[in-house]
């Protein structure tokens, strides 16, 4: 789990008509086995959802994204 994910930690490049997404800046990451992993993942999703809401007026359901990622 990244632990500090925001729009500043996501890079998107285009090469030969293909989009490549990179997530950078991992010093605060934690293992999925950590007791803090679930809360950190939820916060990461909330941070990105907030950015898309603010920047693109896109409504993101944090719970749906969380369930998709965790398979729950």
Q: What is the largest CA-CA distance in the chain?
A: 42
Say what the pTM is. 0.87
Whether the per-residue pLDDT at 72 is higher than 90: the answer is no
Residues with a catalytic annotation lie at 4
CA 18/CA 5 separation, integer angstroms: 23
Per-residue pLDDT, 13:
97
Contacts of residue 49, defined as CB under 8 A and 6 or more positions apart, other chains included, come to 60, 62, 65
pLDDT digits (tens, 9 = 90+) for 17-29: 999 999 999 999 9
Nearest Cα to Cα of residue 30 among 10, 44, 17, 20: 44
pLDDT in tens, 15-59: 999 999 999 999 999 999 999 999 999 999 999 999 999 999 999
């Amino acid at each position: 789990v990244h632990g500090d994910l925001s729009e500043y930690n996501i890079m998107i490049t285009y090469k030969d008509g293909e989009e490549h997404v990179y997530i950078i800046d991992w010093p605060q990451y934690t293992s999925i086995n950590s007791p803090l992993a679930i809360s950190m993942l939820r916060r990461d999703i909330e941070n990105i959802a907030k950015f898309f809401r603010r920047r693109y007026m896109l409504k993101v359901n944090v719970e749906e994204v969380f369930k998709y990622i965790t398979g729950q």
